[in-house]
Structure 1
C-alpha cells in the first residue's frame, strides 16, 4: 500500500499534493471508501454527530469532502456478519481508504476481526489515508498514553506496517493537543523510532521510502 499518515487530515496544499501524487490522478477521478470505525470506540468522538460529520464530508478534518468521484462507507464492525464477496471486491476497486481517528486499539481490533488487516498486503496500489488513530494503527505500538479501550484478548499491539510510531496533534503549550514535553515523555516509553507532528503535517510512505510532508511543526523524537 501507499500510506499517507496524517495527524489532522488533508489540511494543506502540501499534503493534498502528496495525496494526488500517490493516487497518480486527480481526486475527482478517484474512488474512495471511508472507514469511521475508530470513532465509535472513543468517548469524545463517537458514536453520534462527529461520526456523521466524517462520513458526510462535513468534518473539520478534510478527507471525505475533497471532491472524490465516488465515496462509500466501509464499517468494519459489520463485516464479520456478511460474506466477503459483498465487500472485498469494493475494497480492491477503491483507489483510497480514508480512515477516521478515534480509538486506535478499537480500530485495530476490528481490522483484524473483519479480515481487512489480512487483505492489506495485497492492496499494492491502494492509498491508505489515515487520520490520527487511523494513522497510528499501522505503527508497531502506540504507548500507554493513547490506550483507552482494550480488546478482549488484552493485546495492545498495533499492526506494524511501518517501523515507527506516531504522536499526533503536536501543539504549543496551552493549546489543545499534545505538547512537545508530553510527546518526549511518550517517546521514552516507545521501543523504536518515533515522530511527533501537528495537524499540518503527515508522513508519506511509498515503497518503504518515508518522507515527512509538512507546513507546520514536526520532530523525530527517536531515530
Structure 2
C-alpha cells in the first residue's frame, strides 16, 4: 500500500500532483472512501465530520473530483458483518483518513479490524492521511492532551508526561501511543502553524525523541510520500527530519 501523509490535505499543486502520481491515474477515474472517525471527540464533531465529507472544510480532500466517494465510519464496523464493508475497502483506490484525535482514530482502526486489513490491500491502493490520519499511520506516535485520554481500549504505550506549551499558559500531557504500523517513521503535522502552537520546531524535536526511528515534522504545505517502503517529502513550505 502506498501513502500520502499530510498536515491539511492537498493544499497546493505539489501535494495534489503527488496524490495523482500515487494513484497512477486522474482523481476523476479513482474511487475513494473518506474516514472522518478521528474528529468526533472534539466539540462540534458531527458538524466537522460533515464539513470533511462535503468539502466545506479548509483542507482539500473530498472535493477533488473523485469518480466515487463513500463514507466509512470505523466505529460501526464491529457491529456489522465484514462482508458488508471489506469489499468496499478492497475496491477503493484511496482511503482518506481525516484529522482529529489520533489516539481515538488508532483505537478504532484496531477495534474495527482495519489495522489488520491494511497490509493485505493492493499495493496500488493509497492511504491518504490528514493530520491525525497521518499521525496514526505510524507504529508509534505522540500527541498532547489537556487531560488524560479516556477509554479502556486506548492504545497507549507509556504513561503521560507533563508538557508545557511555549506560551507557558497551559500544561498539557504528552502521550506515546501505538498506531497502525503502516509506515516505519513518525509524523508531526502543522509545523510552526499559528493555530497549533504546540507544533513549534523546538517542541517537534522534543516529541521526536519519544518516537523510535525517523520522524518527519511537516507544515501544511508539505507531505510525506511512501512507495514500496521508501519515504520522500514533497513541499512548498518547510519540514524537518529528525533521527535519520
TM-score, normalised via structure 1 length = 0.93
Number of the residue aligned with 1:80 = 78
Number of the residue aligned with 1:180 = 201
Q: How does 1:18-57 map to 2 (within 5 A)?
A: 18-41=18-41, 43=42, 46-57=44-55
Superposition RMSD in Å: 1.6
Number of the residue aligned with 2:111 = 113
CA gap of 1:165–1:151, structure 2 versus 1, over 3 A, is farther
3-state DSSP of counterpart to 2:90:
helix
CA distance in 1, matches of 2:151, 2:125: 27
CA distance in 1, matches of 2:152, 2:70: 29
3-state DSSP of counterpart to 2:141:
coil
CA distance in 2, matches of 1:37, 1:62: 17
Structure 1 gap segments, 5+ residues each: none
3-state DSSP of counterpart to 2:240:
strand
Structure 2 gap segments, 5+ residues each: 157-177
3-state DSSP of counterpart to 1:213:
strand
Q: CA deviation at 1:151?
A: 4.0
Number of equivalenced pairs: 219
Number of the residue aligned with 1:205 = 226
Higher strand proportion: 2
Aligned partners of 1:198 and 1:216 also within 8 Å: yes
Aligned partners of 1:109 and 1:151 also within 8 Å: no
